[in-house]
């Protein structure tokens, strides 16, 4: 049997190893973000200086002003908000009932099909969807972007909700059915409230993936219907790379998702943990 002192040392070494692993994994992302933040608040002379200048002296907002003045980022921000909120809302409307039906029917093949749809690259859908929207005369509007983003958001919502609904105690729904409720009422009044943590997680992840999507926007959007990831790409020029405006544009795209993740991290962790425990 391990002595108490040795057990404490073992736990301490385990914690140190865990924290060290987290630092190693997270530090590159943090350093990249801090460097992007530094670039966005420096003028172009400091951004191209050697040796590199990390701390702006003094900080400037010219890069952000330049991005919004020359690239119509306000319009692109509104487009991203409309597309991401619409795609997320529709995905929840379709995906939550679908996840419930697949879970209760124990349709394993349908679940695998949803997983395949999720991991299939967006390029696989792009050509047929492009031809379809071209035939319908919808290219250059926001409608194709909302519809194509459902290819991303619906599988995420369905796959997450299958795990949550499979882990719910069936006795509660059976009791509701015995009391005279139909299957829709049991879903709405019993299953959905219990699966609320999963719905929150699915909503956040669907929004993030929709917000960050690039490939559909660059092909299907018009000049006035671009989303923010496409707008960042358009900041690049053939003559030279303006690092300040480029970093400012990237920060504008990253900030909403980063803030959402930080504000909702407890709900994300609680939801994923609950789903993992119940689904086990």
Structural domain spans, the chain = 4-40, 62-279
What do you get for the CA distance between the two ends of the chain, in Å? 31
Residue 162 has pLDDT above 90, yes or no: no
User: Between these two residues, 278 and 58, which has the higher pLDDT value?
Assistant: 58
Between 42-46, 78-82, 173-177, 237-241, the lowest mean confidence (pLDDT) is in: 237-241
Q: What is the pLDDT of residue 272?
A: 60
Residue 280 has pLDDT above 50, yes or no: no
Between 37-41, 73-77, 171-175, the lowest mean confidence (pLDDT) is in: 171-175
User: Between these two residues, 52 and 272, which has the higher pLDDT value?
Assistant: 52
Distance CA 76, CA 81 (A): 9
Q: What value does the mean pLDDT take over residues 187-211?
A: 85
> How confident is residue 159, by pLDDT bands cut at 50, 70 and 90?
confident
Task: Give tens-digit pLDDT for 89-100.
Answer: 999 999 899 888
Q: What is the pLDDT of residue 141?
A: 86
Task: Give tens-digit pLDDT for 224-267.
Answer: 888 888 877 766 654 556 777 788 888 888 888 888 877 777 76
> How confident is residue 88, by pLDDT bands cut at 50, 70 and 90?
very high
Residue pair 43/60 in contact (Cβ under 8 Å)? The answer is: yes
**Phi and psi at residue 187, to the nearest 5°:** -65, -45
Residue 194 has pLDDT above 50, yes or no: yes
> How confident is residue 277, by pLDDT bands cut at 50, 70 and 90?
very low
Q: What is the pLDDT of residue 92?
A: 93
User: Between these two residues, 1 and 38, which has the higher pLDDT value?
Assistant: 38
Residue 80 has pLDDT above 80, yes or no: yes
Q: What is the mean pLDDT of the chain?
A: 79
Q: What value does the mean pLDDT take over residues 187-202?
A: 82
For residue 72, the 8-state DSSP code is -
For residue 48, the 8-state DSSP code is T
Distance CA 236, CA 79 (A): 20
Q: Which residue has the tokens 């059915």?
A: 177
Helix, strand, coil percent values for the chain (each to nearest 5): 80, 0, 20
Q: What is the pLDDT of residue 270?
A: 64
Residues in the chain: 280
Residue 198 has pLDDT above 50, yes or no: yes
Q: What is the pLDDT of residue 19?
A: 78
Residue pair 214/230 in contact (Cβ under 8 Å)? The answer is: yes
CA distances from 192 to 60, 165, 173, 187, 198 (A): 48, 9, 11, 6, 9
Which among 61, 81, 60 is positioned nearest to 69, based on CA atoms?
A: 61
Q: What value does the mean pLDDT take over residues 182-199?
A: 81
Residue 179: exposed, middle, or buried by beta-carbon count in 10 A (0-12, 13-18, 19+)? exposed
> How confident is residue 271, by pLDDT bands cut at 50, 70 and 90?
low
Q: Which residue has the tokens 């907002």?
A: 61
Considering the four listed CATH numbers 1.10.357.10, 1.10.3720.10, 3.40.50.10490, 1.10.10.10, the one that applies to the domain covering 62-279 is 1.10.3720.10
Helix (H, G, I), strand (E, B) or coil at 269: helix
Q: What is the pLDDT of residue 278?
A: 45
């Amino acid at each position: 049997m391990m002595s108490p002192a040795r057990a404490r040392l073992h736990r301490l070494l385990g914690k140190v190893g865990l924290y060290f692993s987290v630092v190693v994994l997270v530090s590159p992302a943090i350093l990249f973000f801090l460097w992007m933040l530094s670039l966005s608040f420096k003028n172009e002379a400091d951004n191209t200086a050697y040796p590199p200048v990390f701390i702006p002296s003094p900080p400037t907002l010219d890069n952000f002003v330049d991005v919004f003045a020359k690239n119509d980022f306000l319009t692109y921000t509104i487009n991203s908000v409309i597309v991401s909120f619409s795609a997320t809302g529709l995905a929840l409307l379709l995906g939550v009932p679908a996840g419930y039906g697949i879970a209760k029917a124990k349709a394993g093949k349908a679940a695998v099909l949803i997983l395949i749809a999720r991991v299939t690259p967006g390029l696989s859908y792009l050509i047929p969807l492009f031809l379809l929207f071209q035939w319908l005369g919808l290219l250059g509007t926001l409608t194709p972007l909302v519809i194509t983003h459902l290819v991303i958001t619906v599988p995420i919502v369905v796959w997450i909700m299958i795990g949550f609904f499979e882990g719910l105690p069936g006795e509660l729904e059976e009791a509701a059915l015995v009391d005279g409720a139909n299957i829709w009422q049991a879903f709405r009044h019993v299953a959905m409230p219990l699966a609320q943590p999963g719905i929150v997680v699915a909503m956040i992840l669907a929004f993030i993936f929709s917000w960050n999507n690039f490939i559909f926007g660059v092909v299907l959007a018009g000049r006035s219907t671009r989303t923010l990831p496409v707008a960042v790409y358009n900041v690049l020029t053939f003559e030279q790379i303006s690092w300040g405006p480029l970093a400012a544009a990237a920060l504008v795209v990253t900030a909403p998702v980063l803030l959402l993740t930080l504000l909702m991290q407890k709900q994300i962790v609680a939801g994923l943990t609950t789903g993992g425990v119940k689904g086990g």
